């Protein structure tokens, strides 16, 4: 392997790793706040990527139907337990918002308003599905055990994959790059898309950091993560924290989808594998440490790019095998855990 190939592989690894890092952050966040292991995270990625690709053809993406149905279902699921002013907010969140996004999309899509607007639209269409999903699947389970929530998450993943096939069909698609520019850095060619990915990822991470450190909402989320009961006692509604965590996960998942769309052909079920790589990173961080998860995500990206060079048929096998030494190490380091439900 010459130096050039090595550099390209490392670059690929870092760019993909940055996306895995975003997903890993969301997984850690959602798990900490709601105790849900967000298996369907990957579906937000693939749905956004495919929506973005559809918008680029000037058509109205079918995912709008899914958004509207999810919103309506979430409304029906929550309306019985909501009273007073909260009912107005619920209606705005689950009925008006999807309608507004749909109107905007129907108006803008045929105009082909350019990649940035299309990307924003794709994120707007897909991201709200996450809080709707929370209202539908997880909020009613309340204080169920982590394992029950996990089984529900797997169910949500299964259903979402089915929806994905229904609305996007079995064909994959690629979205347009944000930038076609190429920069030369010594022996290495750096694409504009890579810079977009790295830039947006870093900005998002910085944004999340500021959000959690310096805003009241962020602090409330952290409090929920540390102690749910305690948070409730001081007046933080854990349901609301859950909704916010899911919204962030939806936003970031969808954004990752838009960013990854130009790099690879995305299929309706392809997000799952991408999300699972985020999981590998999140697990390395013990589902608790944000910095460790980010570092691990970069490592996962690099392992993946090298294994696709050397043994492409076994790429996925190798990436997921990374989890084994990590679990082994965790297992040896910690004493036996006693799960008492």
Partner 1 sequence: MTRLWPVMAMLLCLTVPWIPGLPLFSVTLGNLIGLAAIVTVGLVVLTGVGGMTSFAQASFVGFGAYTTAILSTRYGVSPWLTLPLAIAAAGIAAAAVGAITLRLSGHYLALGTIAWSVSLFYLFGNLDLVGRNDGIDGIPPLVILGWKLIDVRASFAVIGIGLVLAVIATRHLLDSRWGRAIRALRGAAGAASSCGVEVPKARLLAFVYAAVLAGFAGWLFAHLQRAVNPTPFGLNASIQYMLMAVIGGAAQLPGAILGAALVVLVNDRLQDWLPRLLGSGGNYETIAFGVLLIVVLQAAPSGLWPLLSRGRTRARTLTPAPALPVRSARPVGSPVLEVSGLRRSFGGLVAVDGLSFRLAAGELLGLIGPNGAGKSTSFNLLTGILAPDAGVVRLCGEEVTGLAAPAMARRGVARSFQHVKLASGMSVIENVALGTHLRGRASPLAGILRRDRAEEAMLFAEAARQLERVGLAGFEDRPATSLALGQQRLVEIARALCLDPTLLLLDEPAAGLRHQEKQALATLLRRLKAEGMAILLVEHDMEFVMGLADRLVVMDFGTRIAEGAPEAVRRDPAVIEAYLGGVA
Query: Which residues in this chain contact partner 1 in the complex, by CB under 8 A?
Result: 37, 39, 136-137, 140-141, 144, 146-148, 150-152, 154-163, 165-166, 169-170, 273, 276, 279-280, 283, 287, 313-314, 316-317, 319-321, 323-324, 327-328, 330-331, 334-341
Shortest approach of partner 1 to residue 81 CB, angstroms? Answer: 13
Do the beta carbons of residue 42 and residue 337 sit within 8 Å? no
Shortest approach of partner 1 to residue 247 CB, angstroms? Answer: 20
CA 8 vs CA 163, 187, 296: distances in Å: 36, 10, 19
CA 196 vs CA 20, 45, 57, 119: distances in Å: 15, 17, 22, 13
- Could you tell me the two tokens for 102? 């749909």
Rank residues 121 and 319 by Cβ distance to partner 1 and give the closer one. Answer: 319
How many Cβ atoms are within 10 Å of 148's Cβ, its own excluded? 13
Rank residues 255 and 282 by Cβ distance to partner 1 and give the closer one. Answer: 282
- The tally of CA atoms less than 13 A away on the side-chain side of residue 92 is 5
DSSP, res 184: E
Shortest approach of partner 1 to residue 158 CB, angstroms? Answer: 3
**Coil vs helix vs strand at 190:** strand
**What values do phi and psi take at 123, rounded to 5?**
-65, -40
Shortest approach of partner 1 to residue 272 CB, angstroms? Answer: 8
Rank residues 31 and 178 by Cβ distance to partner 1 and give the closer one. Answer: 31
Distance between alpha carbon 272 and the CA centroid of its chain, in Å? 10
Rank residues 119 and 274 by Cβ distance to partner 1 and give the closer one. Answer: 274
Shortest approach of partner 1 to residue 110 CB, angstroms? Answer: 26
CA 320 vs CA 23, 69, 185, 303: distances in Å: 16, 34, 32, 10
Shortest approach of partner 1 to residue 314 CB, angstroms? Answer: 6
Rank residues 8 and 318 by Cβ distance to partner 1 and give the closer one. Answer: 318
Rank residues 77 and 232 by Cβ distance to partner 1 and give the closer one. Answer: 77
């Amino acid at each position: 392997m010459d130096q050039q190939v090595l550099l390209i592989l490392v670059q690929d690894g870092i760019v993909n790793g940055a996306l895995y890092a975003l997903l890993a952050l969301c997984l850690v966040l959602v798990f900490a706040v709601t105790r849900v292991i967000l298996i369907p995270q990957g579906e937000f990625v693939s749905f956004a990527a495919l929506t973005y690709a559809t918008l680029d053809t000037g058509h109205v993406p079918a995912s709008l139907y899914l958004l509207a149905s999810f919103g309506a279902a979430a409304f029906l699921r929550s309306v019985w337990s909501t009273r007073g002013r909260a009912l107005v907010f619920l209606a705005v969140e689950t009925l008006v918002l999807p309608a507004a996004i749909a109107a905007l999309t129907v108006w803008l899509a045929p105009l082909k308003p350019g990649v940035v607007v299309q990307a924003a639209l794709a994120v707007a269409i897909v991201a709200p599905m996450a809080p709707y999903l929370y209202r539908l699947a997880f909020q009613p389970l309340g204080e169920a055990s982590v394992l029950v929530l996990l089984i529900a998450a797997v169910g949500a993943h299964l259903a979402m994959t089915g929806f994905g096939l229904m609305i996007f069909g079995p064909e994959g698609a690629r979205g347009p790059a944000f930038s076609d520019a190429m920069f030369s850095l010594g022996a290495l060619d750096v694409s504009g898309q890579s810079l977009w990915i790295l830039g947006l990822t870093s900005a998002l991470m910085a944004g999340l950091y500021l959000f959690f450190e310096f805003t009241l909402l962020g602090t409330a989320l952290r409090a929920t993560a540390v102690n749910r009961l305690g948070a409730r006692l001081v007046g933080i509604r854990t349901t609301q924290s859950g909704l916010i965590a899911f919204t962030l996960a939806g936003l970031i998942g969808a954004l990752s989808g838009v960013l990854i769309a130009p790099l690879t052909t995305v299929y309706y079920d392809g997000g799952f594998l991408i999300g699972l790589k985020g999981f590998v990173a999140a697990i390395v961080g013990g589902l608790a440490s944000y910095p460790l998860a980010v570092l691990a995500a970069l490592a996962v990206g690099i392992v993946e790019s090298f294994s696709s060079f050397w043994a492409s048929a076994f790429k996925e096998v190798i990436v997921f095998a990374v989890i084994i030494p990590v679990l082994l190490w965790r297992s040896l380091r910690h004493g036996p855990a006693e799960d008492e439900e």
